[in-house]
Structure 1
Amino acid sequence: MAKIEKVVETNVDERWKTQRLAQKIDAEIQQLKVALSELDTVKPKKMTYTKKANVFFLDKRDVIVTTKKTGAQFSAPYGQPHPGQSQQRQPRQAPVTSIDTEHNDMIYDIQLDYYGKRLATCSSDRTFRVYDVSKAIVSSGDGDDPASKNQQDAQETPQEQLHVLQHVVPLTDDSAAPIHRVAWAHPKFGAVLALAAQDGKVYIYREELVQQGAAGAGNVTEWRLKHVHEFHALAVLSVAWAPYEYGLCLACASADGQVSFLTRMREGWVISSSFRNSEEGMGCTSVSWAPYNSLGSQGAQGPIQRVITGSCNHAVTIWQFITVPQEGANAGATGSSYWEMVNTPLYGHNDWVRDVAWAPNVGIPANLIASGSDDHTVRVWSQDEADGEWESHVVHTFHAPVYRISWSLTGSVLSVAAGDDEVTFWKQFNNHEWAQISSVTDQGAAINSSSN
């Protein structure tokens, strides 16, 4: 009888343990389901910048760039940052590549190509340089983590380099001036660069094959001058290629107050049009194209080309290209064409407007324009209807003049480079409220802003 009771006790005890284990497993499964559902509803928002480098200058030779291929993705932690949120996690540090460009003088501009694989720089030393950064090694930014540092050291081998200098191209003109801006054309047209110089000239270079290697490997190329645009009397401060749907067309904004358009035709490069930015003759500091599919870009007679300009008269101005068809015997043929101002200039800044950028359109029925000024502010102008009014909202007031601004590919994140040696990244939330989500300093760290 005692043995039977002992066996029964043992069976009860084992059954109880089995039930507890099953309950524990069920609880863990439920926790995993909850965690997975949270991951599905609130995912890290990754903001990748490929077309444009967000940069600032360390000194006259070193630059810091962030690219897609080098893994410079700024990740906002779950549900953060958002105004009014109490709990925050620190974002990851941004991988940053520091490049010694070997320029002999001040760097004025750098730009990544469409795919983020090649980098072009221009300088006061009257040269531009092209680098292959597709295989660049970047610091993970986790400098305080010995494990990550050891892993990084293990990955870096002596054969790999931070960058590969492909070409150093001096301007062929002996009297060439410092180069202020560089811009890549769309890859549909090949490897084409526009260079804006201080003496008012714009140089068009194209990369061409000189010698073909075996099986396409080891090709030898060189950059050849294709055209010199000599239209402006003063420095060209900004150049911007049109959306590829409009063809190979370059807008050039100059300190002489004029904006010219250089277009590649069958017969060669021609000045297709131009306009004076202001009646006062104030200098034009920047120019940006409206996206091909932006709100109001499709008219009854076809696409409407539009640009925005920033000026020394404190205004942001929108222009559209008008083509008047001929009448009479030649009805239907193309008549006169010209640029006209849309409505009136947008005033909100109280100092020079240094840069303007029309946000990319990804299906949102609205237009967004960002402007940075010497008054230390960045403004975003929004339009909800094709012919509606533009509303202005201040993103932030900085401690120094704002020199460059750039949108992410989706138009959801705005990067700002001011005179305080820092690049900051901003995202819009409810009621036109903008919050800083990260920044890049000369240490190359992405720092979450808890105060802004």
Structure 2
Amino acid sequence: MATATLAQFESGHADMVHDVEFDYYGKRLATCSSDRMIKIFDVVGEQVVHVADLGGHEGPVFEVAWSHPKFGSLLASCGYDNRVIVWKEVTENVWQQIYQSTMHTASVNSLSWAPYELGLSLAAASSDGSLSVLTYQADGTWTTELIENAHPVGANSVSWSPAAPKGSLVGSKAPGMPVKRIASGGSDNTVKVWTYEDANRMWHLDGSPLAGHADWVRDVAWAPNLGLPMNTIASAGQDGRLIAWTEREDGSTWDPVVVHDFAGAPVWRVSWSTSGNLLAATDASGAVTLWSEVTDGRWQQVSE
């Protein structure tokens, strides 16, 4: 198995750290905490240098997400105060809020920026059961679309699909138009896939909910497909299951494979490598494991 070098640094937070996210280039790091603060760090070699504090939330901050650098230095955050905040670096290490959404009526638990090909759009999942999609317009305003009752007992996670349709790089046909799809996971123990219809400008549930977990779905992550003839979504469950869902070529169903069962220990987060060939999972023990698909739909652990 492969081994990885572990680097540790002092975050400076006064309470539990909920999320740590690198930017697109891996040169900057954002952290957020129950102390209501977001911290920005420069990463230079093995040195992690604190450069900025962002204070604007009125409760624990649960997630942060960097936008694609095409749109400049933008960072989104969400938290227990029901808010989504978009931050912009106006000068070096000086940040300001450029947008704040207060449309949710319960904590906002997860954020995901759309692929840059789709413009500047941000999806959010809330404990009020709804999903929201915030989109920046050419006139400098933001529009908001709400998917109500997406998960009636609470939405915990959200992830955008790649913009390229599956099979666009390997098929004989010309590449299709970029697709707008998101995956969500909720406290109803399901994963759901949503597709945007341009004709009526609405999001709709794409097929039936994906039922493979026996408890809350804590996180979902849509794999980069690089134009391959498949879509894959990973889901992490309170029930200890790490599941990979693969969409059939005709789009009719999603086939689940249990990558690993952590024997009832909750799986908190999942994340794909840039190429989509490695899946990382964090479980309740605090361990991070890496998984790779081998043959016949089987997965194996590739980290110690």
Distance apart, 1:123 and its partner CA: 0.8
Structure 2 residue 31 is the aligned partner of structure 1 residue 121: yes
Structure 2 residue 273 is the aligned partner of structure 1 residue 388: no
Residue 295 of structure 1, aligned match among 142, 154, 166: 166
Which residue number corresponds to residue 62 of structure 1? Answer: none
Q: Secondary structure at the match of 2:285?
A: coil
Which residue number corresponds to residue 187 of structure 1? Answer: 69
The residue correspondences of 1:75-154 to structure 2 (distance < 5 A) are: 91=2, 93-136=3-46
Distance apart, 1:182 and its partner CA: 0.3
Q: Secondary structure at the match of 1:268?
A: coil
CA distance in 1, matches of 2:63, 2:302: 28
Distance apart, 1:301 and its partner CA: 8.7
Distance apart, 1:99 and its partner CA: 0.9
CA distance in 1, matches of 2:194, 2:167: 12
What per-residue deviation string (whole Å, max 9, x for no partner) do you get for residues 45-74 of structure 1?
xxxxxxxxxxxxxxxxxxxxxxxxxxxxxx
Distance apart, 1:299 and its partner CA: 11
Distance apart, 1:228 and its partner CA: 1.0
Q: Percent identity?
A: 39
Distance apart, 1:296 and its partner CA: 7.5
RMSD: 1.9
Amino acid at match of 2:90: E
CA distance in 1, matches of 2:63, 2:267: 17
What per-residue deviation string (whole Å, max 9, x for no partner) do you get for residues 88-119 of structure 1?
xxx4x421210101111111111000011110
Q: Gapped runs of 5+ residues in structure 1?
A: 1-75, 77-90, 137-161, 210-219, 325-335, 439-446, 448-452
Q: Gapped runs of 5+ residues in structure 2?
A: none
CA distance in 1, matches of 2:251, 2:19: 35
Amino acid at match of 2:301: Q
CA distance in 1, matches of 2:158, 2:224: 15
Structure 2 residue 109 is the aligned partner of structure 1 residue 243: no
More strand by share: 2
Which residue number corresponds to residue 59 of structure 2? Answer: 177
Distance apart, 1:272 and its partner CA: 3.3
Which residue number corresponds to residue 180 of structure 2? Answer: 305
CA distance in 2, matches of 1:392, 1:228: 37
Amino acid at match of 1:303: P
CA distance in 2, matches of 1:303, 1:293: 5
CA distance in 1, matches of 2:300, 2:284: 20
More helix by share: 1
What per-residue deviation string (whole Å, max 9, x for no partner) do you get for residues 384-426 of structure 1?
3142321111011104101100011111111000101200011
What per-residue deviation string (whole Å, max 9, x for no partner) do you get for residues 21-48 of structure 1?
xxxxxxxxxxxxxxxxxxxxxxxxxxxx
Which residue number corresponds to residue 421 of structure 1? Answer: 286
The residue correspondences of 1:282-431 to structure 2 (distance < 5 A) are: 282-295=153-166, 302-324=177-199, 336-399=200-263, 400-431=265-296
What per-residue deviation string (whole Å, max 9, x for no partner) do you get for residues 220-272 of structure 1?
44011111111100000000000001111100100001111111113334233
CA distance in 2, matches of 1:376, 1:429: 22
CA distance in 2, matches of 1:250, 1:192: 11
Aligned in 2, Cα 1:300/1:436: closer, same or farther, shift over 3 Å? closer
Q: Secondary structure at the match of 1:225?
A: strand
What per-residue deviation string (whole Å, max 9, x for no partner) do you get for residues 180-221 of structure 1?
110000000011000101011011110012xxxxxxxxxx44
Structure 2 residue 53 is the aligned partner of structure 1 residue 168: yes
Which residue number corresponds to residue 94 of structure 2? Answer: 222
The residue correspondences of 1:64-83 to structure 2 (distance < 5 A) are: none
Structure 2 residue 117 is the aligned partner of structure 1 residue 232: no
Q: Secondary structure at the match of 2:201?
A: strand
Which residue number corresponds to residue 138 of structure 2? Answer: 266
Contact 1:352–1:375 (CA under 8 A) maintained in structure 2: yes
CA distance in 1, matches of 2:267, 2:189: 13
What per-residue deviation string (whole Å, max 9, x for no partner) do you get for residues 330-360 of structure 1?
xxxxxx3100111111111111101111110
What per-residue deviation string (whole Å, max 9, x for no partner) do you get for residues 144-198 of structure 1?
xxxxxxxxxxxxxxxxxx3111112222x6xx11111100000000110001010
CA distance in 2, matches of 1:382, 1:369: 7
Distance apart, 1:300 and its partner CA: 11
Contact 2:85–2:99 (CA under 8 A) maintained in structure 1: yes
Which residue number corresponds to residue 78 of structure 2? Answer: 196
Size of the aligned set, in residue pairs, is: 299
Q: Secondary structure at the match of 1:245?
A: helix
User: Could you say which structure has the larger radius of gyration?
Assistant: 1
CA distance in 2, matches of 1:277, 1:97: 41
Distance apart, 1:365 and its partner CA: 1.0
Q: Secondary structure at the match of 2:296?
A: helix
